[in-house]
Structure 1
Amino acid sequence: MRHTLKYMALALLLGSGYGVQAQSKRKPNIIFILADDLGYGNVKSFNPNSKIPTPNLDRLAGEGIKFTRFYSGNTVCAPSRCALMTGFNMGHAWVRGNAKAKDGLAALRAQDTTLAQRLKGNGYRTGMFGKWGLGDDDSQGAPHLKGFDAFYGYLDQSHAHDYYTNHLYEIIGGKTVEVPVDTTQYTEDLIVNKAVDFINANKDQPFFLYLPLTVPHAELKVPAALLKKFQHADGSSKFPPETPFEKKGNYDSQAQPHATFAAMVNKLDTDVGTIVALIKKLGLDNDTYIFFTSDNGPHKEGGADPVYFNSGGAFRGVKRDLYEGGIRVPLIVRAPGKIAAAQVNPSPWAFWDILPTLGELTGTATPKNIDGLSFSPLLNGKKAVKEHDYFYWQFNENGLKEALTKGDWKLIRFKDKGTAEKLELYNLKSDISEKHDIAAKNPDTVKALYALMKKAKTPAENPRFDWSEIEQ
């Protein structure tokens, strides 16, 4: 009897050990939250002088690691998201600028394999809720063809300007289809509710949740109840002086753009808190990586006032600029149990590094021909990691703009058809605000970076983004 009990105890011990081992081998869940046009300086933990409270984001940073030199894929929506999904920078990406979904060239092609497709192929349930921007419902870039099991939201960035639309899109029966929406419903709420449903439905298996939220992108609009938090009892704004915005283009009039923008950022912060609280409630803390960032720098559309809110922090420029304010964005990664809390990492990384990073974290194969490098060791408590030699961007609205950083040096090139090119050089270590162009004083550095800039790109395969005519 004594031997029997001994063997039973040993079996229980071994069984327990094997159970722990099996549990530890569970593939981690990935939640990637992407804000729309949120500036680096709009998150209080990145800019203590921010006028808008972001307690949930600040708590997330306090529990994880804050990257202070993280770059978006580009300075506007679609190409930035292309870099995120495919791992290519703007020297090699298919989508290198914004375009109308209906023209067919804004969509990813059949051969453009996304992060979601790779994770789905590795056994992940994949869901996206929010703004896609890389393919209409009848294109090769439709969400159901790009690796998503579930989707609800906007396909086109122009449509996403409307927070009280009469329709959105959803994957139903394996296809992306248009679905009606009650125009009294704030779409941000509908989108977050779908994300919550997805987490609950997939809590017992590895999942990838991509949450590209639409706030605080223009137009500036929130439900009255949210706006009241940023108004005095008499209805006046807590962020004076207010200059009413008059309807223009896609954007409706807004009497209190400052208060409304603050409410939108607060809404974003609240929604992040909802997702984090759910993960904790479900006991998924130790199985889930949570990423938070923004698709590009702050906008100045629909009455938005990035100067008033110091939305770019110490950086020069906004959305559509290749100065730091247009492309440097906050990145927070929470990996409980993996790294010490409240870390700050100053090394440079970019959107095209997300695909290989998640590949290593999940054991998913990563193609060798992409531009991205993995920084996953940093998320597992290690310090040594291979870093980039340089970073490259290009963008074309009102002429071609290119930027390249190498270490602390940054070269920006401006060129339009029939005009001479202009080169600006900055040292980001001594001049983080890019106030002093020192190109004339450093001709050898300009020459070296200019040569590297030429090597960093290939001609665009997509005719919509063939800007060779500008070079003439």
Structure 2
Amino acid sequence: MKYYSIFILFGFFIFFNSFKEEKTSPPNVIYILTDDLGYGDLSCYGQKKLSTPNIDRLANEGLLFTNHYSGNTVCSPSRAVLMTGQDPGHVHCRGNMPDEKMGALDSTMVTLPRLFKNAGYTTGAFGKWGLGITSNEGEENPLTHSFDHFTGWKSQMIAHTYYPSSIVRDGKEISLDSGTYVHDFIMEDAFNFIRESVKENKPFFCYIPTAIPHAAMHAPKELHEKWRKKLPQFDDKIGRYGAGPGEICPPVQNPIAGFGAMMEHLDDQIGELLSLLTQMGIADNTLVMFSSDNGSHHEGGHDPEYWDSNGPLRGHKRDMYEGGLRAPFLARWPNVIEQGTTSDFPSAFWDILPTIADIIDQEKPLQTNGISFYPTLKGESRQEEHNYLYWEFRQGKHQFVKGKAIRLGDWKAVVNYPNSSNEQSQPGEIELYDLSNDLGEEHNVADQHPGLVQQIKSMLSSYE
């Protein structure tokens, strides 16, 4: 009996200490945000003309979401939604604006990086901020919002080129040698941040908002030449894009090949990232997430029709249809997420903040109206669901409403506003689609469901 009691006590001691160790070993978190990557641009989502084997590993070794949505149909408001956890009807930024008027974050909010800092994490952001001039002091600067480190473009406009004249590192603008492919410079800083965080034995949040595959189709020369040989039929095409005052955005011969080269390069770097996590001994306790800020684009000579960038979805960037809003979303966390799983749970960017709060044991910030999908990551059946998802997109000098959308169960409602250059235009008719059998939003069935249309009209009016 004496030995039996000792055995029980010893077993309890082991259990308690392993539980304690688990509770004191919070996961590292890496969030990779691509720019204008379409729902169909990854081979794990059906892309046939290029292969993304390393990005596909995130799906094969983790969870692939089929019903995940970006924060908006353009860059800045989508990023504001991600950082604040507020849906597009509540977030302060509803559309892209010139750099000098960009909607900076509210420094009094518990935004995503501040949530991590409150939990004792070291934090870094590497890439395109999209919420102000990163060398300015105050609320435009990522460092103001609890990022310990930032390396990236000075502004959203300058991020149209991968050969800028300068870069911003921790609030200071640094001149670059001519011909520096800035994406690689930024990624190396991100990898070094991970290395240093592990050496310091600190949990980290690494946010990588890469500009690939947005704007100018700039890719490393060797890869671009490789893809030009694959796609010589497009060699007569020249891609052009602007990059803001004083910046040069070199034209691209065969931007179709440029896109393929950009995607291969990014995929290679995701492979390097996963190898680094293994080398540092942190792969099992690191949550890696991968998504896109909105649907595919037509800019810089990119041809989303050739690449079938949005797969079965209708529309592209700046549209309120699924092709402008639905985003790829992958999550890999070997200690928690079952390998090779898929979820059709409808989720969106405003859910990331409460999900992270749940994961790192922090209070859900007051401003967010998102929900935690941590149960879905863990494969649990209990999962709170949205009553509906809402988006609105504003554009122009005075930020006129250009479109609104609601997803209510399998129903998707879209309202487009006619172009108006000098006054607020009135909304068009509500379009209604049944996504359960019309994913491409080809058949407007609003006339067949007048009661539902009236309900949606009332819901939309609450956001006026």
TM-score w.r.t. the length of structure 1 is 0.89
Once the two structures are superposed, residues 240-287 of structure 1 have per-residue CA deviations (whole angstroms, 9 ceiling, x without a partner) of 344512535445422211111001111111121111111111111221
Structure 2 residue 232 is matched with structure 1 residue 225: no
Please name the residue that 1:4 is paired with.
none
In the alignment, which residue of structure 2 is the partner of 1:401?
Answer: 403
| SS of corresponding position for 2:259 | helix
For the structure 1 residues 158 and 255, does the alpha-carbon distance in structure 2 shift closer, same or farther, using more than 3 Å as the test? same
Q: Is the counterpart of residue 128 in structure 1 residue 99 in structure 2?
A: no
- Aligned ranges 1:102-113 → 2 under 5 Å: 102-103=100-101, 105-113=102-110
Aligned to 1:353, the other structure's residue is in SS state helix
Residue of structure 2 in register with 1:238 after alignment: 231
User: How is 1:100-249 mapped onto 2 (pairs within 5 angstroms)?
Assistant: 100-103=98-101, 105-136=102-133, 137-171=136-170, 176-203=171-198, 204-232=201-229, 237-238=230-231, 240-245=233-238, 247-249=240-242
8 A Cα contact 1:126 1:208, kept in partner:
yes
Separation in 2, partners of 1:242, 1:453:
47
CA–CA distance in structure 1, aligned partners of residues 178 and 13 of structure 2: 55
**Which amino acid is 1:348 matched to?**
P
Moved over 4 A (4+): 9-19
State the distance in 1 between where 2:261 and 2:180 align.
17
- For residues 429 and 11 of structure 1, the distance between their equivalents in structure 2, rounded to whole angstroms, comes to 55
Amino acid in the other structure paired with 2:437: S
For 1:262, give the aligned amino acid: G
For residue 60 of structure 1, the aligned residue among 54, 58, 61 is 58
Equivalent in the alignment of 1:348: 346
TM-score, normalised on structure 2?
A: 0.90
Q: Partner of 2:207: helix, strand, or coil?
A: strand
**Structure 2: how far apart are the matches of 1:67 and 1:418?**
36
Structure 2 partner of 1:422: 429
The 3-state SS of whatever aligns with 2:392 is: strand
For 1:22 and 1:109, locate their aligned partners in 2 and report how far apart those are by CA, in whole Å. 36
Structure-2 separation of matches of 1:76 and 1:259: 24
Q: Structure 1 CA distance, aligned partners of 2:389 and 2:221?
A: 43
Q: Secondary structure at the match of 1:208?
A: strand
Quick check: 1:77 aligned with 2:84? no
Contact 2:294–2:317 (Cα < 8 Å) also in 1: yes
Distance apart, 1:19 and its partner CA: 5.3
- The reply on whether 1:431 has 2:438 as its aligned counterpart is yes
CA contact (8 A) 1:35 1:268 kept: no
My pick for the range that moved more, 148-157 or 344-353, is: 148-157
Aligned 8 A contact 2:77 2:93 in 1: yes
Q: Deviations over 1:161-203 (max 9, x none)?
A: 11111211111xxxx2212222322111111100110001011
Q: Distance in 1 between matches of 2:70 and 2:405?
A: 13
Match of 1:421, as an amino acid? G
**Kept after mapping to 2: 8 A contact 1:101/1:107:** no
Please show how residues 302-313 of structure 1 align to structure 2 within 5 Å: 302-313=300-311
2:299 matches 1:301 = yes
Q: Paired residue for 1:31?
A: 30
| Gapped regions of structure 2 (runs ≥ 5) | 1-5, 244-248, 419-423
Q: CA distance change for structure 1 residues 303 and 121 in 2, over 3 Å: closer, same or farther?
A: same
Q: 1:285 to 1:73 in 2, by over 3 A?
A: same
Q: Aligned partners of 2:430, 2:8: CA distance in 1, in Å?
A: 72
Q: CA deviation at 1:24?
A: 1.4
Partner residue, 2:246: none
Percent identity reads 38
Contact 1:109 1:141 in 2 (8 A): no
Q: In structure 2, what residue type is equivalent to 1:350? A: A
C-alpha separation between the residues in 2 aligned to 1:18 and 1:445?
Answer: 54
**SS in structure 2 opposite 1:231?**
helix
> How far 1:112 sits from its partner (Å)?
3.6
Match 1:410 to one of 412, 428, 452: 412
- CA deviation vs aligned residue, 1:398-421 (integer Å, no higher than 9, x gap): 752000010111111122445562
1:335-374 maps to which residues of 2 (within 5 A)?
335-374=333-372
User: Cα–Cα, structure 1 residues 335 and 187, in superposed 2: closer, same or farther, change >3 Å?
Assistant: same
Distance 1:192 1:418 in 2: 43
Report if aligned partners of 1:360, 1:376 keep a CA contact under 8 Å in 2.
yes
| Residues 1:18 and 1:239: Cα distance change in structure 2 (over 3 Å) | farther
Quick check: 1:403–1:413 contact (8 Å CA) kept in 2? yes
* Correspondence 1:246-395 to 2 at 5 A: 247-250=240-243, 252-395=250-393
One-letter code aligned to 1:285: A
CA contact (8 A) 2:125 2:151 kept: yes
2:113/2:145 contact within 8 Å kept: yes
What is the total number of aligned residue pairs between the two structures?
A: 441
Residue 465 of structure 1 is matched in structure 2 by none
> Judging changes above 3 Å, is the alpha-carbon distance between structure 1 residues 365 and 418 closer, same or farther for their aligned structure 2 residues?
closer
Residue number in structure 1 paired with 2:456:
449
Q: Is the 8 A contact 2:125 2:206 kept in 1?
A: yes
Q: Partners in 2 of 1:392 and 1:420 — Cα distance?
A: 16
The 2-side partners of 1:10 and 1:396 are apart by 64
Superposed CA RMSD: 2.2
Secondary structure in 2 matching 1:339: coil
Q: Deviations over 1:120-159 (max 9, x none)?
A: 0110000000111112223313111011001100242111
Contact 1:90 1:392 in 2 (8 A): yes
Distance 1:290 1:116 in 2: 16
1:315-356 CA-partner distances (Å, limit 9, x unpaired): 001111111001101000001021321101011100000000
Query: Are the equivalent residues in 1 in contact too, given 2:394–2:403 (CA < 8 A)?
Result: yes
Task: Tell me, yes or no, if the aligned pair for 2:353 and 2:368 is still in contact at 8 Å.
Answer: no
> Which has the higher mean CA deviation after the structures are superposed, 147-156 or 13-22?
13-22
Q: CA deviation at 1:381?
A: 2.7
Give the Cα–Cα distance (whole angstroms) in 2 for the partners of residues 14 and 81 of structure 1. 46
Change (3 A) 1:270 1:445: same
AA in 1 matched with 2:434: N
